[in-house]
Amino acid sequence: MIRWLVAGAGQAGRCHVAAIQRTTNAELAGIIDPMRPPDKDKPVYTDLSDALRATEADAIVIASPNDTQADLAHRALDAKLPVLCEKPVGKTRAEAEELHIHAKDAQVPLGVVLNQRAQTHSRWISELIENGALIPQAVTFSGNLARLGGWHADPTRSGGGVLRTIGLHYIDLLLWWLGQPIDVKATLYGTPQEDCINVTMTFSSGCTAQVKIYAVNEQADGPVICVIEDEGVRIDMAGHSITAVKGLPDPPVAEPSDADLFFGPGHQTVITEASRALQDGQPFPVPLSDVFPALDVVGDIYAKVDR
């Protein structure tokens, strides 16, 4: 049984708490958040040091605001506590790189939460591409999202806008499925958090992919739609489910919905597989370095585009 601390009691943190409570080889050791009130059902601590003194935690999930992730992760690594950190891992690529080096020097496991990769349908698509059964010619992610508030809307805290906080998920999926792009074009509208992002990526396979996300208003949140097309093949997805498939047999059955896992069942898969790896003395299945290519693409876009 792996006893997890969860740093951050916001949306992502609550999703990780739910995932831990639904995972047979995991147990919640406590929640760390200076803003969270006491909870009679869950131990709550205001600081990592307090949590380490009061618990016998085996690992920590860091799901706190971007500007707090790196410091928490460094402190956990100093305490020899394995760290699983939500993307984007700090405010900058440099902060993530420093953590990567620290973990290697300390010989402590350090992984990144890329929960979109852990969805059943995302893995199915990856396997199809890997074995040559699917050669995408066009991929589009599109959707209307509620404008992000609080620290999300402050680039000095988040490290960017919608492209980095939300779009990074879809940039990462495209790189995971298709490899490095040979060309990237982007337009970003609105400041500070980007009311619209439109990224077009071209790959050596001939595939053209787009990520088009609009932050419309506070009530406009909805599932991101994905359409993948090949010659005679089409896959339609909405959020965490496949909605239609043409030209391919045996698509995966939709995973059961769970209101507490509101970012999808991928979080539970991440916790289950990370807990198993720790039990077996293995590194995390998705090392922190896996997020570097997506961070590089996003960084290059920000360097070239006026917002």
Q: Are 196 and 188 in contact (CB under 8 A)?
A: yes
Q: Are 90 and 158 in contact (CB under 8 A)?
A: no
Q: Give the pLDDT band (50/70/90) at residue 278.
A: very high
Q: Give me the pLDDT at residue 303, please.
A: 93
What is the greatest pairwise CA distance in the chain? 59
Q: Domain 120-246+293-304, CATH 3.30.360.10 — does that match?
A: yes
pTM for the predicted model, two decimal places:
0.94
Domain with CATH 3.40.50.720 in the chain: 2-114+265-287
Render pLDDT for 127-158 as a digit per residue (tens, 0 to 9). Answer: 999 999 999 999 999 998 888 888 988 999 99
Render pLDDT for 68-80 as a digit per residue (tens, 0 to 9). Answer: 999 999 999 999 9
CA distances from 230 to 96, 166, 189, 201, 280 (A): 35, 26, 31, 16, 40
Domain with CATH 3.30.360.10 in the chain: 120-246+293-304
More confident residue, 241 or 233: 233
Beta strands in 77-207 (DSSP E): 83-86, 110-113, 138-145, 181-189, 196-203
Architecture of domain 2-114+265-287: 3-Layer(aba) Sandwich (3.40)
3-class SS at 268? helix
Q: Give the pLDDT band (50/70/90) at residue 220.
A: low
Mean pLDDT of the chain: 93
Query: Does the structure show a pLDDT above 70 at 32?
Result: yes
